Amino acid sequence: MDYGRYNTNPSSDHYGDYTSNENDQHLTPTSYHPSSRSDTFEKGKLGLHRSPSKDSTLSSTPYTYTDEEFHKPYSHQRVQPTSPSPLVQNAADLERTETNYHDLEYADPPYPFNHNPPVDEKPNMLSRWLGKAKYPLEQRIQDKKEGIGRQKYPFVVWALTAAMAGVFINELVVNWKTQGSPVSFKPVVNPMLGPSQSALINMGARFPPCMKEVVNIPSNIRLGCLNNTANPPDSLCSLEDICGFGGFQGKVQNQWFRFITAIFLHAGIIHILLNMFAQMTLSAQIEREMGSGGFIITYFASGIFGNVLGGNFALVGVPSIGASGAIFGTLAVTWVDLFAHWKYQYRPYRRLIFMTIELLVGVAIGYIPFIDNFAHLGGFLMGLLVGITFYPVISTTGRHRLIVWSLRLIALPLSIILFVVLTRNFYSYDPYDACSGCRYLSCFPIAANNYCKGTGLIFTSN
């Protein structure tokens, strides 16, 4: 059966006509006549009028149509096909025919719906940090709202958590070998359910007498050994034995690495559970958003600086351990994110209230024994500075971009200056001279700690 041909040449007098063979029975639109009436459609719509044949069957008798909205008559004549062609061939001819219009409303999109437009190349970390990445701005905003960052998995957080869990198991084993129990109950109970104070110092806690000369804690002082369970201690060891790591080798104490090793130690089961929960949730999300490179810098800069600040102003005779300073650094990055992307946040004022409460609770926890509040505060401060520098910020205006880069140019040198000044102060001066009242930020004055006066060291003998 031949279905005829449609004339698509605009310059032709027969533009818009269908033609058919006389033997075929189908509808054929013909010329428009203003006088044609529509008896099947309402006014203003396309109407069809049929001329019935004698045998009540469809024939080649044309149907006429009327467009009652536009009364511009068109006159067309039917054109007989030159040769019979199949339907597929007609469609192909229709596609090849040049036309003067494009159906923009229903044309197929260049890429599927709900997918991002193609990007020429994948941006690297440096280009994204500089704000020159070929990453559609609208997609970046949408990813920010959905919590999608630079990478899918927080590999560094997983590695750190596994390492800290392994170190803590070793802490319990060491205490079990020396005191016969993984948790220290003598000479005093560890409220965090962990090793003794001597064991924590021996394994790398931040303890200034092992790192430098302390006026009120001379190098010849004797402390309770790792296996001591008596109060007062009946088993005493030298400071060099307690500090471990090969001793001082006849030199002045300088175990500077304790600024780093203290990050991987935890005071007890409660301490590590709280920290690892925060690390696997809060810190993991920050790594996804920043990428592993920026996250590593932020995490360790915050953790180390927190220990440096605590070494300057906390009680020198009290050991300090934990990843809290590093985690507080990642907490500070969430504050950078909140204020930098305020208009993209869901209920930003409500989030600000919850983050403030979260920060205050963390500071309150810093008054628990073996936990240094200066590590929390110092980690938070350094996290703000490093986070401003490395956190990927979305800038939609030139003014916002100028503010961001101005803060970055201030934050980066300021963080370096703080590191240099406080490290030099730790090794060269008496920190208490600079700020005698700062100790109360990490010490709650009670009789057991001599109301935060002196060194805080207990169970000693000269």
Task: Report how far residue 336's alpha carbon sits from residue 404's, in angstroms, rounded to the nearest whole number.
Answer: 10
Provide the token pair at 90. Answer: 């007609």
- With a CB cutoff of 8 Å and minimum separation 6, the contacts of 246 are none
Phi, psi angles (nearest 5°) of residue 178: -90, -40
Task: Report how far residue 201's alpha carbon sits from residue 195's, in angstroms, rounded to the nearest whole number.
Answer: 10
Largest CA distance in the chain: 129
Provide the token pair at 213. Answer: 């000369």
Phi, psi angles (nearest 5°) of residue 259: -60, -25
Catalytic one among 324, 341, 395, 461?
A: 324
Q: Are 26 and 20 in contact (CB under 8 A)?
A: yes
Which spans in 63-124 are helix H? 87-96
Q: Are 8 and 94 in contact (CB under 8 A)?
A: yes
Answer positive or negative: Cα dihedral of 247, 253, 254, 255: positive
H/E stretch holding 461: strand 460-461
Task: Report how far residue 81's alpha carbon sits from residue 77's, in angstroms, rounded to the nearest whole number.
Answer: 13
Task: Report how far residue 243's alpha carbon sits from residue 36's, in angstroms, rounded to the nearest whole number.
Answer: 107
Residue with tokens 């002196």: 454
Reference 74, options 14, 1, 5; nearest CA is 14
Q: Is 198 designated active site? A: no
Task: Report how far residue 350's alpha carbon sits from residue 370's, in angstroms, rounded to the nearest whole number.
Answer: 33
Provide the token pair at 24. Answer: 């075929």
Phi, psi angles (nearest 5°) of residue 62: -70, 155
Q: Is 324 designated active site? A: yes
336 exposure class (CB count in 10 Å sphere: 0-12, 13-18, 19+): buried
Catalytic one among 20, 59, 271, 376?
A: 376
Catalytic residues: 324, 376
